[in-house]
Structures are given as structure tokens and as C-alpha cells.
Amino acid sequence: MDAPPPPPPESSPTAVTAAANVADDPLTSPYASMNSYCHDLSALQDLACRGAWRTIVDKVARSRSLSLLSKPHEHLIYLTFNLLSLVKLRRYPDAQQELRTLDDDLDSKQYLYDSYPDHYPNHKSGSMVPFALRWLHAHLPFTLGDRQLALDRLYTLLHFIRDKKLSRNLDSTSEVSLTLWKKREQFVVNTIISHHLSQKEFKVCLSLLRAEISKNEDPLLVSKLGYVQMQYGDLDGAKRSFEVVEKMVMGSDSENVELKNLLSRNKALKYLVGKDYVSAVREYEECIERDGSDVVAINNKALCLMYLRDLSDSIKVLESALERVPTVALNETIVVNLCSMYELAHVNHADIKKTLSTWIARVAPDDFDNSCTRI
Amino acid sequence: MSGAGGGAQQAVHSLAFRVMRLCRPTLHVDTAPLKFDPCDILFGEDLFDDPIAASHLPRLLSSQSNTSVSDPSDLSYRSRFLLHHPTDSLGFPGLLVLPQAFGAIYLGETFCSYISINNSSNFEVRDVIIKAEIQTERQRIVLLDTSKTPVESIRAGGRYDFIVEHDVKELGAHTLVCTALYSDGDSERKYLPQFFKFIVSNPLSVRTKVRNVKETTFLEACIENHTKANLYMDQVEFEPAQHWSVTALKTADHALEHNLLMGETFKEPVLIRSGGGIYNYLYELKFSSPHSGQVKVEGSNILGKLQITWRTNLGEPGRLQTQHIVGNPITRKEIELDAVEIPPSIILDKPFLVSLKLINLTERVLGPFEVWLSESDLLNEKAVMVNGLQTMTLGEAQAFSSLKFQLNLIATKHGIQKISGITVFDTVEKKTYSSLLELEAICRYMWTHSD
């Protein structure tokens, strides 16, 4: 299937022209609500927020078989949700199949609003491809084992954004649109940095991050630079980066809990690399008191306790977080740490890991990767 | 990656050792957190080029329940789907992960381990004497010994933990031996040994080259990384031997950028790639003797040592120093030959005199000497030859003094010619000194030809 199917014969020409005439009438405008814009879209979004990816795959299949989707953009949005769900569920070959139903060229005419004047009268020309679809198209080869192709596609996507979208002036586009494209540029750069970071190509990461920081002086970005430096061992460099973050935050909103916790967590890392685990624990406890669902602080505090020879308490910290704030604490990394602690603490760790695994199965979203329990 | 290890397990033990290598943690990287901005999924990428659509965007988005990601009353997993902050897409939140495998261990690193003794029986155990030792081919190092203060009791289901550290200074097989001597539920004294083996490898190799250029000695050191990790070279310093001074020569940093925000001039970190990456260091060494005029001591020439400190994840350090690095052997100069006078112009085929001075640099009498011009290596006849007796005899030269003499030479080719191969032979010590001096002279035809 190449192009989205034509609208079902039920939609009469009069309905379409009516839409054309009252495009901005709040009662009949396609933008009156999420669902008027796209069939049952709020349900899809709700399912995604709940991590019910299997349900989404079923829903998309049903909507297609019952021909519930009438407009081309609806098909694309449903396809995007389907593709994302399959990737979240780690069903990569199925995801590739889904992607194959599209034209190789996402810039093809069939994905433009003005190719369907009946559906989108008076609509400005442009692409109806959701940006996430482009990103998923670039990302998918990595999931199938071809990291290099994925990186190539990501760099191509970056150039596409810079050359085709960001270079326009405000006559041909809106400010809302330009802002969105700037965010998308950052999104793609971050994905690229993430790839290089997991391959331990630190110098590339440093250079890309520094370029980002010069465009956008964000304390979180500078903190990430510090984390990269710590990761390969440049402790002095990391300390200097954290000092810059402190200077940046000092002027701004002093009541912002997130920024306060960021500073505390950075300080805790400095103590930790200096092997002063007691002070690190103290910093993390301050974070947790300010924000009980700061899982980074909770996780890192547990590790510090372990390095302080207190395995029992480190286990308790993680277990209690899972109980107390499961929707943020149920994270593969935290489970990996907890299972490592179980393996150390118990000769017969299989039992306790099974208990954990059973609990996870009840509570976890569809995309949770159970292999982290190493059962 | 916790281990139970090997050991004599004939008896049923109430206690068991669990061991986990505790090198520094790493920061977790999630290559694709799969978190998105809702605009990128719900809407066509160019939808908001359309002004009507753009005007509806804020309302449409806020109609979604937009509670904060960290709202405890929000029981959804939206934090796994939606970006809370743009930097979330880096997948690098600063979450620490425990080491997941024993990994490789290298000379110069510190072996650190968490050791937990579990009492998995239903009875209390008492008077527990715990020992932890590292055994290598050469030695036994005690890391922990509670003989003097035994652990009074470990209750049923209880645990006694300790962390041991050991700076690894030997290569090859190492064994961590953990033993527990305890009284079990029947007051029987039991002995539990457990062994955990690991191998220590060489992380680096250092190749050096020494070159002498006049009074300066240059030392090139090439460090090669044999480990499985990228090594951050925190400090590489040359410690010179006595009487030597050192300057590290660094390349001009081409990529020096001064970033106003970062307030510093960024220097590229020295990171040596895993599995064979190399980095070169260059040092300039100067010998400064405390006694003026004294030349370098004869014999083997120790320049100094290289001290290397590297770091890996979260600053995990490793330290090594090389053995003594030796320079080129210095032989003390015994005699020197200087030109005193050369005629300004020499006429072809006409004999001329060159005045030379032989200086005795030693504290003993040298000579008598013989002086000649050695045979040319080239097939062509030498341009400048001795006129007359080919070998000249000179007397003795006293300690720290000189002998003046003249060589009677003749030029057979015109143009700028070298007077080379002047050889001095000490007839008593039977030592030959060649290549002490090379001269140049302009040889003209008798009638002045402007060439």
C-alpha cells in the first residue's frame, strides 16, 4: 500500500464544502477538539501515557479494518502510533514491515496537504508527516543492528531540518512552526550525541554538546557535559562544568525545585567521585525531601549506601521507592541495580528476584524490558 | 556478577561468602529513550504553517491532561513517553549503575570488593573469625583479619559485610581467599574457605626514543593502551634524574576555542582509545652539572622515569611508573682538534699550510700521536691531500693543554672543497680519533678565474 486510501464513499461532497466554508467555526472546525481533528486521538494519547502499547496496536488494527479513518492525515497519525508502539514493544521486524507500507520518500506529494484539496480546502501547503515518523524511520535500522545506517539517516535528517526548515524566513512560515523546528533540531542532535555516547566516542560528544551549549545556554545541558566528562574520567573538567551550572542557576528562580535538585545532584556526584559517600548521601536526601519522586537521587543514594557497606539499607531504599512511586521508579536501570544487590545479598537470590518479577508483571507498562531482572 | 567462588564444600555450611567487585559505577546511557514532544506525534510536521491551525494549538495541547511529570497523584507512565525537558532525549539522566561484570583488571589499578557473609541457616553462628587475603605467585597480602576481635554472632538470616581494597602491583594470577572460622548451631567449630580467582594484565606499554641534538637531549615517549577501555590521561609526568631538568613540549592546540560561557579555554582531553590506541609525548632534557666546565659522567646515562596516572569511568584511577629511562651512552671527550689558521684562498696544485691545534681534555698525558688524512670512501681521488710524508708524528700533549702543528696540504680540484678525514692516532693508548674536524676551503686556479 503506497498512498493512504481515498476517503470512504460515505463522505459526501457537501460535507466537505461545508467544512471549507466554516473552517474556523468552533462548532464544526476540525480543530474544535483532538477527536474532531483526528478520530479518537485523545484515546490514543491516553493509552500511550499509560504505556498500553499492545492496546494501541490492537486499536490501530481495528480502526483500519473497520475503515474508521477517513482522512489521509489520520492514517499517518495512526501509522505513527502503530510504529512507535511496535518499537516500544521491541517488535522490530514488525515495525520494519509497518514502515515499508509507506513510500520510501517521505517528501513525496502524497504526504502533502495540498494533494488533497477536497480534504484540506484553504489549507496552507506543507507536509502532514508527523515528525516522529521521520525520526522513527532514521532510528529503526539501529534496532535491526545497523547502527551506521541509523546515524547516517539521523545526520541526513539534521541537514534536512537545517537546510529546508530553519533557513526559511517568517514570510513563508509562522513563528510557532519555526520554534517547533528548532526543538526538532535539538531532538535530533541529542539522539546523535546519545549514539556516540553509548559507543564511548567521547570527543565527538564533547564537541557536539559544546556547539549546543553555545546556541542554548541551558544549565541542564552544561550538567550533561559534566556527566560526559565524569564518564571518561576528567574529574577536574566535570567540576568546572558544574561550577558553570551553579553560576547559571544562581541568578534565576530560587524556588524552582527542579533546579535546586539539579545542583544538589551535581554536588553529590562530586562527593561521590571523591569517595565521600556520606556527604553524597546527605545531598541526595535533601533532594528527596524536596521532591519525593526524584528517582535519580533515590537510585544514586542507594548506590552510595552500598559503597558505604550498607547493602541492607541500599536495598530498602530501592524497594521502598518502587512501592511508593512505582510510575516513576519502575525503570529498567533501577531494577538492574536492585537485582545486582539481591545477587550479592542472598545466596538463593532466585526466589527474591522472582517475587520482584511477579510484581513488575502486574504493575509495569507494556514496554518494560524484563530482561533487566536477569532471571 | 556476584560470585560464590570455589572451595571445599564437603560439610554443610551455615555461612556462605558472596563477593562483588566494586569498581566505580558508570552513568547509564539510554540510546533511544523514545520520549517525544506531543506535537511531533499528534500533528503533521507542517501543520502549524497554517495560521488557523497555529491559532488552535495552545488550546488543543492544554486540553490534554497536562499534569507535571513528577506529580505523585499522576499514576500514568507518561514520563516514559513524553519529554519533560528537551535534554531528556539525550537519555543521560545521571543515573548510576553498579558494575555488571567483574571486568578486566590491570596493573596499577585498585582492586576493590564487597564481601558479604550470609547466614542462610536457621541458627545463630558465633565467634566468627573472618580473613580475606590476596595470594599471588610471590606473596600473600592480608586484607582483613578479625582474629583479634572475632564477630560475636551472626543471627539466622543475618549478614556481615566488609569492603576490601588492594592496590594491584603484580601481573598474572591472583586469588582472593576468603575464610571463615565459626561455631555453628551445634557449637561445632567449622571452617569455610572460598576462592575467587582473577588475572591481572598489563594496561600500557611505553616505548621511548632518545635523541641528542647538540647540548639538548630529546625524549619521545609513546604510550599504547592495551585495555578494553578508553583511558583518560590525567597526568603524564617525566621525573628527571639528578642534574637533569625537563620541559614537556606540547603541540599548539589548533582547536583552542574560548567559550565565554564556560569561561575557559577549552583543551582537548587526552583520551587514548582502547585496544591499541597510542599517544606521543615529547620532552626536552638538559644536563646541568653542579661543577662548571665538567662534562657529563661517562657510562650509562639515566635520564629519569615517566609517571603515568590515568582514569576511566567516574575517575577510577590507575598509576604506573616506568623503569629508569636511559639515554645514549656518553663517552667523555678526550681530545679536540681546532683549526687555528687556514689560508684565505688556496691555489690549485700549490702546497699550502693549515695550522691546527690538538687539545688534551683529560687530566693525563696523552700521545705521542700520528696524524694523517684517511683514504677517501669515494672512488674519486680526494680533492685535498697531504703534500709530502703522508703520516705526521706529534709529541705528547700534557694534561689540559694543547699541541700546535701544521699540515702541509695540496689541492687537486678547484672550487669549494672539503678537507676531511683528518685522523689522529694515540700510539700509546692505541686509540684512533677520526672525524674530529672538517674544514672547507676555496681552491682557485692560478690565474684568477671568476667561476
User: Model ipTM?
Assistant: 0.90
Least confident range from A16-20, A23-27, A343-347, B257-261: namely A16-20
- The per-residue pLDDT for range B152-203, each reduced to its tens digit, is 999 998 999 999 999 999 999 999 999 999 998 888 899 999 999 999 999 9
**What average pLDDT does range B15-20 have in this prediction?**
94
Q: Is position B81 within any domain?
A: yes
**Residues B243, B289 contacting (CB under 8 angstroms):** yes
Residues B111 and B158 in one domain: yes
Q: How far is A9 from chain B (nearest CA, A)?
A: 24
- Is there a single domain that holds both residue B197 and residue B273? no
Give me the residue from A180, A194, A348 closest to B48, CB to CB: A180
Same domain, B75 and B121: no
Query: Which chain B residue shows the shortest CA-CA distance from A270?
Result: B314
Contacts of residue B422, Cβ cutoff 8 Å, sequence gap at least 6: B337, B356, B371, B373, B374, B407, B434, B436, B437, B438
Contact residues, chain A, for B161 at CB < 8 Å: 309-311
Contact A186 B86 (CB under 8 A): yes
pTM of the model: 0.82
Q: Chain B interface, mutation test: which of A24, A25, A28, A31, most B Cβ atoms within 10 Å? A: A31
Same structural domain for residues B185 and B214? Answer: no
pLDDT of A139 above 70: yes
What integer is the mean pLDDT of A45-70? 94
**Could you say which of B39, B44, B95 has the minimum Cβ distance to residue A333?**
B95
Predicted pLDDT of residue A12: 43
pLDDT band at A178 (very low <50, low <70, confident <90, very high): confident
The pLDDT of residue A259 is: 94
Whether residues B86 and B103 fall in one domain: no
CA-nearest residue to B164 within chain A is: A309
Q: Tell whether B86 and B135 lie within a shared domain.
A: no
Residues 6+ apart with CB under 8 A from B318: B106, B108, B109, B203, B231, B309, B310, B311, B312
CATH classification at residue B181: 2.60.40.10
Q: Does the structure show a pLDDT above 80 at A160?
A: yes
Contact A340 B234 (CB under 8 A): no
Taking an 8 Å cut-off on Cβ atoms, the answer to whether A233 and B310 are in contact is yes
Highest mean pLDDT among A104-108, A282-286, B73-77: A282-286
**Quick check: B92 and A333 CB within 8 A?**
no
User: In the numeric block, which cell numbers belong to residue B405?
Assistant: 702543528
B348 lies in the same domain as B314:
no
User: Given an 8 Å threshold on Cβ–Cβ distance, is A33 in contact with B82?
Assistant: no
Rounded to an integer, the average pLDDT of B401-416 is 89
Give domain status of residue B32, yes or no.
Answer: no
In single-letter form, the type of residue at position A180 comes to L
Q: What is the pLDDT of residues B122-150, one digit of tens each?
A: 999 999 999 999 999 999 999 999 999 99
Domain end marker among B201, B222, B249: B201
The total number of structural domains in chain B stands at 4
CA angle B337, B341, B342 (to 5 degrees): 105
CB-defined contacts A:B, below 8 A:
301
Q: Is the pLDDT of residue B326 over 70?
A: yes
The percent of residues in chain A predicted with pLDDT above 90, rounded, is 72
Of the candidates A269, A281, A183, A276, the residue with the CA atom closest to the CA atom of residue A229: A269
Shared domain for B74 and B216, answered yes or no, is no
Chain B residues within 8 A of A369 when measuring between CB atoms? none
- Selecting from A81, A180, A325 the residue whose C-beta is nearest the C-beta of B72 gives A325
- Residue A266: CB atoms within 10 A of its CB come to 25
Residue B29, domain member (yes or no) = no
Give the pLDDT band of residue B100 (cuts 50, 70, 90).
very high
Percent of the residues in chain B that have a pLDDT greater than 90, as a whole number: 53
In a domain, B400, yes or no: yes
Q: B86, A190: Cβ pair inside 8 Å?
A: yes
Same domain, B124 and B187: yes
The enclosing H or E element of A42 equals helix A41-49
B240 and B143 both lie in a single domain: no
Q: Is the peptide bond before B368 cis (omega within 30 degrees of 0)?
A: yes
Average pLDDT for B260-280: 81
Facing A233 at nearest CB: one of B20, B87, B313: B313
Tell me if B86 and A187 make a contact (CB, 8 A cut-off): yes
Q: In terms of Cα–Cα distance, which of A238, A189, A192 is closest to A212?
A: A189
Domain boundary among the residues B293, B326, B359 is at B326
The answer to whether the CB of A8 falls within 8 A of the CB of A108 is no
CA-nearest residue of chain A to B82?
Answer: A49
Predicted local confidence at residue A34, as pLDDT: 82
Q: Do A203 and B314 touch (CB under 8 A)?
A: no
Instruction: Tell which of B68, B90, B112 closes a domain.
Output: B90
How many angstroms separate the CA of residue A263 from the nearest CA in chain B?
A: 12
Residue A17 has pLDDT above 50, yes or no: no
Domain, as residue range, for B69: 38-90
Give A91-141 as a DSSP string. -HHHHHHHHHTS-S-TTSGGGBGGG-TTTSTTPPP-B--BHHHHHHHHHHH
Q: Evaluate whether residue B133 is within a structural domain.
A: yes
Do B32 and A220 make contact, defined as CB atoms within 8 angstroms? no
What H or E segment, with its residue span, contains residue B442?
A: strand B439-444
**Residue A26: pLDDT band with limits 50, 70, 90:** low
Any domain includes B197: yes
Same domain, yes or no: B231 and B360: no
Q: Tell me the average pLDDT across B287-303.
A: 64
Shortest CB distance from B87 goes to which of A180, A224, A234?
A224
In a domain, B451, yes or no: no
Question: Does residue B219 surpass a pLDDT of 80?
Answer: yes
Cβ <8 Å between A328 and B70: yes
Are residues B115 and B172 both part of a single domain?
A: yes
pLDDT of residue A125: 80
